[in-house]
């Protein structure tokens, strides 16, 4: 499909819409379309083969011309070895976030007042912990701040509105910041190493002729070396993304602990619970396999701790530039994905893309300006309510007569009530008294005794403050208990800083395989092979291209053709067209076919452009046995269909495998 420029809301152009707004408009369209389809339901029936006008196939498909040897490749290594206690892992970050002392987020003055209230309450109710109540309220605000942070990051940095990265961000917004949970645990449980690897590959494939991903047992140094040499010999210019662990020489400047031997940590096939560390000299020996000649390496982006200490070695091997963290790298969750998206789709330089990835995770770990409101009054009123009782009865105790009652003198003008009377010659007049622990409340007739164990603290037990300034230091303290020298706080921003060879900072993605204003993935669902996640769709399933395997349906084929003919006005054919009536019929059909799973998948060369505006039928057609709507026979490879037989076991199996939703809104057929 034709590449559509992504628009971001800015102060200078308030009429431009964001990716998220386009997505919301699209979701609303789907809801509207589904309601419309339900109203037009028809009954499935037997019918003869139908031949309908098809989208013509050009005699010769025109493709993007590529100069000889101008091929780019990306090598991705993902190895999350949790046995490495010296290095930052998802599980280690999760433990740090889980054990973070929430009360450290409270400003000192507020924390001191809460501790005073807590001590007062415990004199009466020793089992109660008011500080825990306050922490729970703060924790919920942290969750809200994290959700807002991710939303802000999407808008500020133009993060994808679709595809696997969008799915990960959605998960973080909806689940990761839940009370008692954290984004690292959710990411590890929901995605893990394989999920990250698949997302990196999906993000890269539309922009490279070749993508090699090494993970688990494939992530050994020997395998990595072999792949580099093979790609070089085949004429590829290579970019490298290393999402592995590492260890460097500097261990104290940023309060980092000793990590042992220096080296980049690959998978060790002989000791799976350990790592195969390769230092700079080992990296340089890769050239031994190329007769000592430098490799055709473009850019190297590294996540491993102390990665910057290997920059020079990569340059000696042949890289134009290398970019790695200064020391211990705490930015391990989103940075590889954000970098790769910026380096490819956003067409940023190596340095700019690496800096953006750094800034995204810096926000996640250090918070944003976010107002927190803590109110302990409801809990205090429940635990220690204000109690009122009547004053002691008026009377005195005499040595001989014992207790003798007296009269009550009430001044209804607001003065204190008194006990008054006479026993023999002795007269009595004194203010009415309260039981121990109570104070008199004068109320102009019928005074009461009040017990308020908290006094003025009760009304003061609500505060408001900005969470942002205290969040980063609290995170540094939590990280220090796991990664800091002597368990002292670390400096996540300084330690994770990116370092690159400054003389070559302008390095861009190697030989981008796509040109401007070309039509790619022409016939598949989604823009630029990105697809679009739909509400209620199982995790990881996107209606577009996963790498080079693309979802195709008859409606998307027709919609792409309509967009080619109406590039500036067709509905969802470009920015600002979400409400257009042009191409709406085709989009409506595509949405229906996707929701009802009347689609098929084909391997598509996403680096080649379609310059004809005509779908390549041979490359995109539906294979024999695909269930489609009867009127979509033109999309079948032989352009013929037969009636779907609900009593036929084979047809039933096809429908179940394909997941077709039979609801009477179309007449099902099977491609012959």
Structure confidence at residue 29 (pLDDT): 47
Range 548-584 burial, b when 16+ CB lie within 10 A, else e: bbbbbbbbbbbbbbbbbebbeebbbbbeebbebebbb
* Nearest CA-CA partner of 309 in 337, 285, 283, 330: 283
Alpha-carbon gap, residue 211 to 238, rounded angstroms: 10
DSSP string for residues in 290-352: GTTPPP-EEEEEE-STTGGGGHHHHHHHT-SEEEEESSS----SSHHHHHHHHHHTT---HHH
What is the DSSP code (8-state) at residue 390?
Answer: P
Do residues 307 and 263 lie in contact, with contact meaning Cβ atoms separated by under 8 Å? no
> What integer pLDDT is reported at residue 533 of this predicted model?
54
- With a CB cutoff of 8 Å and minimum separation 6, the contacts of 417 are 391, 408, 409, 410, 411, 431, 432, 442, 445, 446, 447
Q: pLDDT per residue over 294-333, tens digit each?
A: 999 999 999 999 999 999 999 999 999 999 999 999 999 8
Cβ neighbors of 314 (< 8 A, separation 6 or more) are 240, 283, 297, 300, 322
Alpha-carbon span 178 to 231, nearest angstrom: 44
Q: What is the pLDDT of residue 561?
A: 93
Q: What is the DSSP letter of 263?
A: E
CB contact burial 139-177 (16+ within 10 A = b; e otherwise): bebbbebbbbbbeebbeebbbbbbbbbbbbbebbbeebb
pTM (global) more than 0.85: no
Note the pLDDT of residue 412.
64
The pLDDT, as a whole number, for residue 615 is: 93
Q: Residue 665 is encoded by which pair of tokens? A: 């809104």
Q: Which two tokens stand for residue 344?
A: 């490819």
CA 96: distance to chain centroid? 19
Residues 6 or more apart whose Cβ sits within 8 Å of residue 322? 299, 300, 302, 310, 311, 312, 314, 315, 500, 501
Torsion angle of alpha carbons 340, 351, 225, 264, nearest 10°?
-100
Q: How many whole angstroms separate alpha carbon 49 and alpha carbon 639?
A: 9
How many other C-beta atoms are found inside a 10 Å radius of the C-beta of residue 223? 17
Question: What is the greatest pairwise CA distance in the chain?
Answer: 130
pLDDT at residue 180, as a whole number = 53
Which residues of the chain fall short of a pLDDT of 50?
1-69, 538-540
Gap between the Cα atoms of 421 and 110, Å rounded: 52
Helix (H, G, I), strand (E, B) or coil at 154: helix
Predicted pLDDT at 446: 79
**Under 8 Å between Cβ of 304 and 277:** no
Query: Burial code of 401-420, b = ≥16 C-beta within 10 A, e = fewer?
Result: eeebebebbeeeeeeebbbe
| Residue entry with tokens 């370092």 | 499
- Strand-pairing partners, residue 73, are 210, 238
Q: Are strands 439-441 and 448-451 parallel, antiparallel or unpaired?
A: antiparallel
Q: How confident is the model at residue 442, as a pLDDT?
A: 84
For residue 636, give the DSSP letter: B
Closest CA relative to residue 245, chosen from 218, 276, 271: 276
- DSSP letter assigned to residue 27: H
Strands 236-243 and 297-302: parallel
């Amino acid at each position: 499909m034709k590449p559509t420029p992504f628009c971001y809301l800015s102060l200078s152009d308030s009429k431009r819409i964001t990716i998220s707004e386009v997505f919301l408009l699209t979701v609303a369209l789907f809801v509207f379309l589904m309601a419309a389809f339900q109203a037009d339901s028809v009954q499935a029936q037997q019918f003869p083969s139908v031949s309908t006008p098809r989208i013509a196939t050009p005699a010769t498909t025109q493709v993007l011309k590529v100069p000889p040897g101008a091929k780019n490749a990306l090598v991705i290594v993902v190895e999350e070895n949790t046995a490495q206690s010296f290095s930052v892992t998802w599980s280690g970050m999760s433990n740090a976030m889980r054990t973070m002392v929430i009360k450290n987020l409270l400003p000192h003055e507020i924390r001191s007042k809460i501790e005073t209230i807590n001590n007062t309450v415990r004199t009466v109710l020793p089992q109660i912990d008011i500080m825990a109540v306050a922490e729970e309220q703060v924790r919920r605000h942290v969750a809200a701040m994290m959700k807002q942070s991710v939303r802000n990051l999407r808008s500020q940095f133009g993060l994808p509105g679709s595809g696997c990265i969008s799915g990960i961000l959605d998960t973080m917004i909806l689940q990761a910041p839940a009370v008692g949970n954290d984004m690292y645990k959710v990411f590890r449980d929901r995605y893990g190493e394989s999920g990250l690897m698949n997302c990196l590959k999906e993000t890269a494939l539309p922009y490279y002729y070749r993508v090699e991903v090494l993970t688990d047992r494939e992530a050994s140094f020997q395998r990595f070396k072999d792949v580099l040499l093979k790609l070089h010999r085949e004429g590829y210019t290579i970019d490298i993304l290393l999402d592995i662990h590492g260890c460097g020489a500097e261990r104290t400047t940023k309060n980092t602990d000793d990590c042992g031997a220096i080296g980049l940590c690959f998978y060790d096939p002989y000791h799976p619970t350990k790592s195969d560390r390769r230092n700079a000299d080992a990296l340089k020996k890769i050239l031994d396999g190329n007769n000592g000649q430098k490799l055709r390496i473009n850019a190297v982006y590294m996540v491993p701790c102390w990665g910057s200490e290997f920059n020079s070695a990569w340059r000696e091997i042949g890289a134009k530039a290398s970019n790695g963290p200064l020391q211990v790298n705490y930015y391990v969750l989103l940075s590889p994905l954000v970098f790769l998206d910026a380096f490819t789709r956003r067409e940023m330089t190596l340095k700019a893309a690496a800096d953006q990835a750094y800034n995204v995770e810096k926000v996640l770990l250090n918070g944003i300006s976010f107002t927190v409101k803590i109110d302990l009054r409801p809990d205090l009123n429940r635990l220690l309510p204000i109690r009122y009782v009547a004053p002691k009865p008026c009377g005195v105790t005499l040595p001989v007569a014992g207790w003798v009652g007296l009269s009550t003198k009430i001044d209804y003008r607001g003065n204190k009530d008194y006990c008054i009377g006479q026993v023999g010659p002795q007269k009595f007049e004194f203010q009415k008294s309260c039981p121990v622990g109570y104070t008199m409340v004068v109320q102009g007739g019928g005074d009461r005794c009040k017990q308020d164990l908290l006094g003025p603290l009760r009304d003061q037990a609500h505060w408001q403050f900005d969470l942002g300034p205290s969040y980063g230091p609290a995170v540094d303290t939590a990280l220090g208990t796991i990664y800091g020298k002597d368990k002292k706080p670390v400096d996540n921003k300084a330690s994770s800083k990116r370092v690159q060879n400054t003389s070559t900072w302008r390095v861009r993605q190697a030989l981008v395989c796509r040109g401007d204003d070309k039509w790619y993935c022409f016939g598949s669902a989604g823009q630029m092979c990105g697809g679009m996640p739909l509400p209620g769709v199982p995790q990881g399933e996107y209606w577009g291209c996963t790498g080079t395997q693309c979802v195709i349906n008859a409606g998307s084929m027709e919609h792409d053709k309509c967009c080619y003919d109406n590039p500036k006005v067709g509905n969802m054919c470009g920015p600002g067209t979400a409400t257009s009536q042009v191409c709406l019929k085709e989009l409506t059909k595509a949405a229906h076919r996707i929701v009802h799973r009347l689609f098929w998948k084909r391997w598509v060369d996403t680096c080649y452009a379609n310059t004809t505006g005509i779908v390549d039928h041979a490359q995109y057609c539906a294979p024999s046995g695909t269930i489609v709507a009867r009127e979509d026979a033109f999309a079948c490879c032989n352009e013929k269909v037969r009636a779907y037989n609900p009593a036929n076991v084979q047809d039933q199996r096809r429908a179940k495998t394909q997941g077709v939703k039979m609801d009477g809104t179309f007449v099902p057929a099977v491609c012959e």
